[in-house]
Chain A
Amino acid sequence: MATLVSKPKRSQRELIRIGSVIAAGVFAVLIPIVDGNAGQINVLVNAGIYLMLAIGLNIVVGYAGLLDLGYAAFFAIGSYAYAIVASPQFNIHVAFWPMLILASLVAALFGIALGAPTLRLRGDYLAIVTLGFGEIVPQTFLNLDGITGGPNGISNIDGATLFGYKFGLDPVPYYYLTLVLIALSLWFAVNLRQSRLGRAWMAIREDETAAAQIGINTTTAKLAAFALGASFSGLAGVVNAGLLTLVSPEQFKFNVSITVLSMLILGGMGSLTGVVVGSLLLSILNFYLLPQAGNLLGQIGIHVDVTNYRFMIYGFILVGMMLFRPEGLIPSRDRKAELHVTEPDPAAVHENAEYGGGGRP
Chain B
Amino acid sequence: MHLTWPLFLNLVISGLALGGIYALIALGYTMVYGIIELINFAHGDVYTLGSFFALAILTMLGATGELHGWVLVVDVTLAVVGAMLLCGLVGMAIERFAYRRLRNAPRLAPLITAIGVSFILQNLMQLWKGPSPISFPVVIPIVTYSVGGVTIQSTQILVIVLATVMMAALQLFVYKTKFGKAMRATAQDRDATQLMGINVNLTIALTFFIGSALAGAGGFASGVYYGSTWFFNGFAAGLKAFTAAVLGGIGNFVGAMVGGLLIGLIESLVAGLISDQWSTVAVFVVLVLVLVFKPTGLFGTAVAEKV
Contact B108 A359 (CB under 8 A): no
- With most chain B CB atoms within 10 A of its CB, the pick from A123, A127, A353 is A127
B227 to chain A, nearest CB (A): 24
Complex Cα distance A25/B37, Å?
45
Count contacts on B: residues with CB < 8 A to the other chain.
54
B128 to chain A, nearest CB (A): 12
> A124-B111, A128-B287 given as contacts; is B200 within 8 A of A359 (CB)?
yes
Contact A355 B104 (CB under 8 A): yes
Contact B119 A318 (CB under 8 A): yes
Question: Residues of B contacting A359 with CB < 8 Å?
Answer: 194, 197-202
Within residues 43 to 74 of chain A, which ones have a CB less than 8 A from any CB in chain B?
A: 65, 67, 69
Among B120, B281, B285, which residue has its beta carbon within 8 angstroms of that of A143?
B281
Q: B260-293 interface mask toward A, CB cutoff 8 Å, 1 = contact, 0 = none?
A: 0000000000000001011011001101100110
Interface-lining segment among A98-106, A159-167, A186-194, A336-344: A336-344
Contact B284 A135 (CB under 8 A): yes
Interface-lining segment among B77-85, B94-102, B159-167: B94-102
B181 to chain A, nearest CB (A): 14
Contact B190 A355 (CB under 8 A): yes
Among A67, A131, A308, which residue has its beta carbon within 8 angstroms of that of B108?
A67
Chain A CB within 8 A of B107 CB: yes
Contact A358 B292 (CB under 8 A): no
Complex Cα distance A359/B298, Å?
34
Question: Residues of A contacting B120 with CB < 8 Å?
Answer: 312, 315-316, 319
Within residues 264 to 311 of chain A, which ones have a CB less than 8 A from any CB in chain B?
A: 265, 305, 308-309, 311
> A128-B242, A312-B119, A342-B106 given as contacts; is B285 within 8 A of A136 (CB)?
yes
A113 to chain B, nearest CB (A): 12
Contact B39 A128 (CB under 8 A): yes
> A133-B288, A316-B116, A323-B101 given as contacts; is B277 within 8 A of A142 (CB)?
yes
Q: B137-170 interface mask toward A, CB cutoff 8 Å, 1 = contact, 0 = none?
A: 0000000000000000000000000000000000
Q: Is the interface of B mostly helix, strand, loop or mixed?
A: helix
A50 to chain B, nearest CB (A): 17
Question: Residues of A contacting B202 with CB < 8 Å?
Answer: 358-359
B240 to chain A, nearest CB (A): 10
Chain B CB within 8 A of A314 CB: yes
Q: A232-246 interface mask toward B, CB cutoff 8 Å, 1 = contact, 0 = none?
A: 000000000000000
Contact A355 B287 (CB under 8 A): no
> A132-B284, A343-B105 given as contacts; is B123 within 8 A of A312 (CB)?
yes
Contact A67 B119 (CB under 8 A): no
Contact A319 B98 (CB under 8 A): yes
> A309-B127, A315-B120 given as contacts; is B285 within 8 A of A265 (CB)?
no
Among B123, B197, B284, which residue has its beta carbon within 8 angstroms of that of A309?
B123
Question: Residues of A contacting B38 with CB < 8 Å?
Answer: 124
Question: Residues of A contacting B116 with CB < 8 Å?
Answer: 314-320, 322
> A124-B107, A315-B118, A316-B120 given as contacts; is B291 within 8 A of A323 (CB)?
no
Complex Cα distance A131/B242, Å?
12
Contact B103 A355 (CB under 8 A): yes
Question: Residues of A contacting B115 with CB < 8 Å?
Answer: 69, 258, 261, 315, 318
Contact A354 B201 (CB under 8 A): yes
Besides the contacts A128-B39, A128-B242, A355-B103, what 20 more A-B pairs have beta carbons closer than 8 Å? A67-B111, A117-B288, A117-B292, A118-B292, A121-B291, A124-B111, A125-B291, A129-B291, A139-B281, A140-B281, A143-B281, A258-B119, A315-B116, A315-B118, A318-B112, A319-B117, A353-B101, A358-B199, A359-B194, A359-B202
Listed A/B pairs (28) with beta-carbon separation below 8 Å: A120-B292, A121-B295, A123-B107, A124-B108, A129-B292, A135-B239, A135-B284, A136-B284, A139-B281, A140-B281, A258-B119, A261-B115, A308-B123, A308-B126, A312-B122, A314-B119, A315-B115, A315-B118, A318-B119, A319-B98, A319-B117, A326-B105, A342-B106, A343-B104, A354-B201, A358-B202, A359-B200, A359-B202
Chain B residues in contact with chain A, CB under 8 A?
A: 37-39, 98, 100-113, 115-120, 122-124, 126-127, 131, 190, 194, 197-202, 235, 239, 242, 246, 275, 277-278, 280-281, 284-285, 287-288, 291-292, 295
